[in-house]
A and B are shown apart, each in its own frame.
Chain A
Amino acid sequence: MMMKIRINRTELELFAGATVADALRCYYARHKKKFPEIFPAVSDRYGNYVAPDGRLSNGNQLFIKTIK
């Protein structure tokens, strides 16, 4: 089973059934960055806000503005 999604330019492979929060945790861990205390605003490819507990599907694309 495939579960590949993208956050900004980073492709991530996640477990099937992962949420936006799982993807973000994975993204920050890959970039060796501390997870922000305030959950970052995340949007989909159409510019809509997506909540942290939203389910993801294979091929989804998310965007966060910056990581510090």
Chain B
Amino acid sequence: MKHLDFYKRMMHLAPAVLFAMVVACQPVRQASQPMPETKTLEILAVNDMHAAMDNFPRFAFMVDSLRTLYPNMLLVSAGDNQTGNPVNDQYRDKGLPMITLMNAVKFDISAVGNHEFDSKPEGFAKNTQQATFHFVGSNTVPPEGSTFRIKPYKILTTKNGVRVAFVSLLNINEGGIPDSHPDNVKGFVFKDPYSTAKEVLSLADSCQVFVFLNHMGFEEDVALAGQLPAGKADLIIGGHSHTRVDKEQVHNGILITQAERKLKYATLIKLTLKDNQVETKTMQLLTVGKTGKERVDVRAMVNQFGNNPQLKETIAEATADFTTYEEVGYLMVDGIRAAARADIALANPGGVRIDHLNKGNVSVMDIYTMDPFGNEMVLFNLTGHEIKALHLAAFTIDDSSAIYPSGIKSKYLLSEKGALNDVQFFTNDGKPLDMDKTYTVVMNNYMASVYKYDHKDIGQGLFRTTAEGIIDYLKNLKKIPDYRGEKRVELVKTGN
């Protein structure tokens, strides 16, 4: 019986014994072949932060927590760190608050997004110098002899010895520049992103991980992945289209990520490498948001920036009270016209949100209250006839209200029932407008997208908000003239 028990036990144990024997034999065979070395790489990626400074203390806490788990983790931004928050955008050194916060959480690298140029060439150059992280722009060539600290690529070696190459492609629009005001990119040369991608791929041979840190848009990143030879690039960390990639998107073997915008999310990317080859790559979209534990020192920095005295500083003085929507509207269009250097500016009635502005000091915050939508300026080349078509189309959409003009005056001819029969236009000195002539006309992006009328030029966004345009105008103007009694629009009932 005892023998039978022993036999049964041995039969039960046989597979384990067999496995142990196989394992025992292994070292003999592998003595000349070392075990493959396994390494890991973690990257925390954000994009399009757009100066979402309020989320930074929470984000900083999250970064610190992840670094305790993953001491080799790299922290990267796919560009557009700037623009979207007056505290940052109106700071004396425009954009410096965001650079300071990014330094505080020890970013390793950032792409150059189109909104990095919003600080204007001098300001952007200064921002790149103040950054303790690297700016990379592979198809962005700074002006010769300039002081921009932008590199075409950067190879980082993690503490556990993984060499990671970062290259970066910026989206170039059909005008041959990124989505930025042309004045802000003067002197830069922008190369075609797709041909640049092929040029920089040779770097893949000198590193273990090859990353595109792009600011092109998700669909463009997918198109890029489709054009690359298989096995060269491992990751595309993207931005620009504000796409929330919450599940793995692998195209032509390349993992493509993007974490929406404004630090609502961050993407944690994990790679494992065996024998210097990327074996696995995964991603997880983490929620950052505003609530939760914060890094105290970063909160203190954000609060300090929030007390920016420049926001309350007087930028101009109103010589009289503004008491109607009309008066405020005219001030706004005058500002937009000057900022865009256009012949004519137009504002929809719904775009004017306040009907008063007190005589005396006017601050930056007053302008953001007057124009709170973050609307951007769009420039068109329109003939007089096209301007008229725009007015006719807008009247119904704007609930039978007139457009506020700058640079021209208008006369709406209405039926007894209030239907719009015709609009006539005049120059500021009362002469009929030359309807065959082409004028530069600036308006906000709402009007540019909603009004349907016949016009040849599709328009060009200027990538500056109307509020910023008005602020710049008032800073130059200093004394705001008296708009009381100003009449630029006449509504006349003509019968029928």
Partners in one complex: yes
With A17-B463, A26-B450, A48-B218: A55-B175 Cβ-Cβ less than 8 Å: no
Q: Across the two chains, which residue of chain B brings its CB closest to A45?
A: B219
Beta-carbon contact of A18 and B452 below 8 Å: no
CB of B406 within 8 Å of the partner chain? no
Q: Which residues of B contact A25 (CB under 8 A)?
A: 446, 449-450
Interface centre among B246, B459, B463 (most CB of A within 10 A): B459
Q: Which residues of B contact A54 (CB under 8 A)?
A: 217, 240-243, 261
Q: Which residues of B contact A61 (CB under 8 A)?
A: 219
| Chain A positions 1 through 38: 1 when the CB is less than 8 Å from some CB of chain B, otherwise 0 | 11100000000011111111011011001100000000
The complex places the Cα of A59 from the Cα of B223 at a distance, in Å, of: 12
Beta-carbon contact of B171 and A16 below 8 Å: no
Task: List B residues 179-222 near A (Cβ within 8 Å).
Answer: 179, 217-220, 222
CB of B460 within 8 Å of the partner chain? yes
Q: Across the two chains, which residue of chain A brings its CB closest to B463?
A: A17
Out of A13, A15, A17, A57, name the residue touching B217 (CB < 8 Å).
A57
The complex places the Cα of A50 from the Cα of B463 at a distance, in Å, of: 19
Out of A1, A23, A60, name the residue touching B460 (CB < 8 Å).
A1
Q: Across the two chains, which residue of chain B brings its CB closest to A59?
A: B219
With A15-B458, A46-B222: A22-B445 Cβ-Cβ less than 8 Å: yes
The complex places the Cα of A14 from the Cα of B280 at a distance, in Å, of: 41
CB of A16 to closest CB in B, whole Å: 5
CB of A64 within 8 Å of the partner chain? no
Beta-carbon contact of A57 and B461 below 8 Å: no
The complex places the Cα of A63 from the Cα of B173 at a distance, in Å, of: 23
Q: Which residues of A contact B451 (CB under 8 A)?
A: 29
Q: Which residues of A contact B85 (CB under 8 A)?
A: none
Beta-carbon contact of B179 and A55 below 8 Å: yes
| Chain B positions 441 through 453: 1 when the CB is less than 8 Å from some CB of chain A, otherwise 0 | 0000110111110
Out of A14, A16, A46, A51, name the residue touching B261 (CB < 8 Å).
A51
The complex places the Cα of A17 from the Cα of B244 at a distance, in Å, of: 20
Beta-carbon contact of B244 and A51 below 8 Å: yes
Q: Which residues of A contact B459 (CB under 8 A)?
A: 15-16
CB of B352 within 8 Å of the partner chain? no
CB of B249 within 8 Å of the partner chain? yes
The complex places the Cα of A54 from the Cα of B238 at a distance, in Å, of: 12
Total count of chain A residues near the partner, CB < 8 A: 33
CB of A47 to closest CB in B, whole Å: 8
CB of B382 to closest CB in A, whole Å: 12
Q: Which residues of B contact A17 (CB under 8 A)?
A: 173, 179, 376, 378, 460-463
| Chain B positions 159 through 176: 1 when the CB is less than 8 Å from some CB of chain A, otherwise 0 | 000000000000101110
| Chain B positions 380 through 400: 1 when the CB is less than 8 Å from some CB of chain A, otherwise 0 | 100000000000000001000
The complex places the Cα of A62 from the Cα of B249 at a distance, in Å, of: 17
Beta-carbon contact of B240 and A55 below 8 Å: yes
CB of B165 to closest CB in A, whole Å: 26
CB of B419 within 8 Å of the partner chain? no
Out of A14, A49, A58, name the residue touching B260 (CB < 8 Å).
A49
A-B contact pairs, 25 of them (CB 8 A): A13-B458, A15-B380, A15-B449, A15-B461, A16-B460, A17-B179, A18-B448, A22-B446, A25-B446, A25-B450, A29-B450, A29-B452, A30-B452, A44-B218, A46-B218, A48-B218, A48-B244, A50-B241, A50-B242, A54-B261, A55-B114, A55-B217, A57-B217, A57-B219, A60-B217
12 extra interchain contacts, Cβ-Cβ under 8 A, other than A54-B240, A57-B219?
Answer: A1-B175, A2-B174, A2-B458, A15-B378, A16-B174, A16-B461, A25-B450, A48-B246, A49-B243, A49-B260, A50-B242, A55-B179
8 closest cross-chain pairs (CB), A and B: A17-B461, A54-B242, A15-B459, A51-B242, A22-B449, A1-B174, A49-B244, A26-B449
Name B residues whose Cβ lies closer than 8 Å to a Cβ of A: 114, 171, 173-175, 179, 217-220, 222, 240-246, 249, 258, 260-261, 376, 378, 380, 397, 445-446, 448-452, 458-463
